[in-house]
Amino acid sequence: MHYLWLFIAVLTETLGTTALQASQQFSRLWPSLAVVLCYGSSFFFMSLVLKTMPVGIVYAIWSGTGIVLIACIGYLLFGQRLDLPAVIGLALIISGILVIHLFSATDTH
């Protein structure tokens, strides 16, 4: 169940960061409200995950996955280009998440 909560935490964080871009520095009401709601929801669901997983592992997966998703959304929705070093860096983040998930004995209590 903790992976479902973590997935929801990553999803709401990603939506919040997308809304942050759309809020235009908090000058637009609805995207600004979405930022607050999404980040609050993300931290709530992340707190549920912390009952069964160490904070460092949760944060690494949450932030790393969010970074990769936001980079993809920025590329697809906002036309933000990624150069080769950025793509390599994102691939390394994904690799790190996979190493934690597949090989680490500390991913759950």
Q: Residue 15 and residue 37: Cα distance in Å, rounded?
A: 10
Residue 99 lies in a domain: yes
Domain containing residue 47 = 2-103
pTM: 0.90
Residue 109 lies in a domain: no
The alpha carbon of residue 10 and the mean position of all alpha carbons in its chain are separated, in whole angstroms, by 4
Residue 108 lies in a domain: no
Query: For 19-64, how does the pLDDT look when each residue is reduced to its tens digit (9 = 90+)?
Result: 999 999 999 999 999 999 999 999 999 999 999 999 999 999 999 9
Identity at 31, one-letter amino acid code: P
Overall domain count for the chain = 1
Residue 17 lies in a domain: yes
Residue 82 lies in a domain: yes
Residue 80 lies in a domain: yes
Q: Residue 43 and residue 9: Cα distance in Å, rounded?
A: 7
